[in-house]
A and B are shown apart, each in its own frame.
Chain A
Amino acid sequence: MPEYTIAAVAAVAAVIALEVRVFHTGLFRRAAYWVSMGIVFAFQVLVDGWLTKLSAPVVLYDEAGTTGARVPWDIPIEDFLFGFALLTLVLLLWERAGRHMRADGS
């Protein structure tokens, strides 16, 4: 498998493992999480679509590093795993920080 593809799949697996094995925030059981990810996904298509459009790309990918599948428009599908991992990690840390701060009474 190409390197970016491997890294993106591994990142998603690592973030899910972090929640299931370590954090236990319950984020994946919250409706707000899944609704938010749906909204964020729609906006990612717009922003990432602009950044990756092959007619005037802001970011240029080495095709050898990806599966080469680009959808929708010219977005490498790996970018969606990258985005899922980044934003799920942030939401997990946010939930955990909120829990700690309530426990501290701060």
Chain B
Amino acid sequence: MQPVGLVTTLAAATAAPPDERWQYLAILAGCLLVTLPLELVIGARVYRRPRRLIRAIAPAVVVFAVWDVIAIDRGHWRYNPSYVTGWELPGALPIEELAFFVVIPICALLTYEAVTVVLAAVRRRAARARAGRAGATRTAVGGA
């Protein structure tokens, strides 16, 4: 009986359609996950400056949410009900869109600050290399 039960369970699990309503939110969660090392490993210091982060994102969220609501109203675009939760804010704005306007700017800020950190390190290294070469030249001249 037990193997049959297991087979039935597996069959039911594979036959059941995957719950695709979470797809849009899952993509956004993936974006946050992929960019997390920029903060934790490279030291972008975006999450660690929450007040500045809010001041950077809040006005953009408002402007682009208004744009989104107008675009939905005028029929420029709509969302596939299969891939969104169906939870909506006033103006028929899916919560996924609000999440998008928070998540994607965070990813961009992490990228920008991480690039800033990396470029500064590259410039320091180049400056040290120049100083090293200049030092070596002086030594060579002094020795001769």
**Chain A residues within 8 Å of B, Cβ to Cβ:** 3-4, 7, 11, 31-33, 35-36, 39-40, 43, 47, 50-51, 56-62, 65-66, 83, 86-87, 89-91, 93-94, 97-98, 101, 106
Contact = CB atoms under 8 A, between A and B. Distances in A.
A31 B119 contact: yes
Contact of B52 (A11, A57, A62, A98): A98
A90 B119 contact: no
Give the size category of B's interface with A. Answer: 35 or more
A58 B80 contact: yes
Most A CB atoms within 10 A — which of B63, B67, B109, B112?
A: B112
21 contacts: A7-B76, A31-B119, A32-B112, A32-B115, A32-B116, A36-B115, A43-B107, A56-B83, A58-B24, A58-B83, A59-B78, A65-B75, A65-B76, A90-B108, A93-B57, A93-B59, A93-B60, A94-B109, A97-B51, A97-B55, A98-B52
Interface in B77-105: 77-80, 83-84, 101, 104-105
B136 interface: no
B60 A40 contact: no
B111 A39 contact: yes
A91 to B, nearest CB: 6
A11 B60 CA distance: 12
Contact of B80 (A3, A35, A57, A86): A57
A78 B119 CA distance: 31
B80 to A, nearest CB: 5
B77 A62 contact: yes
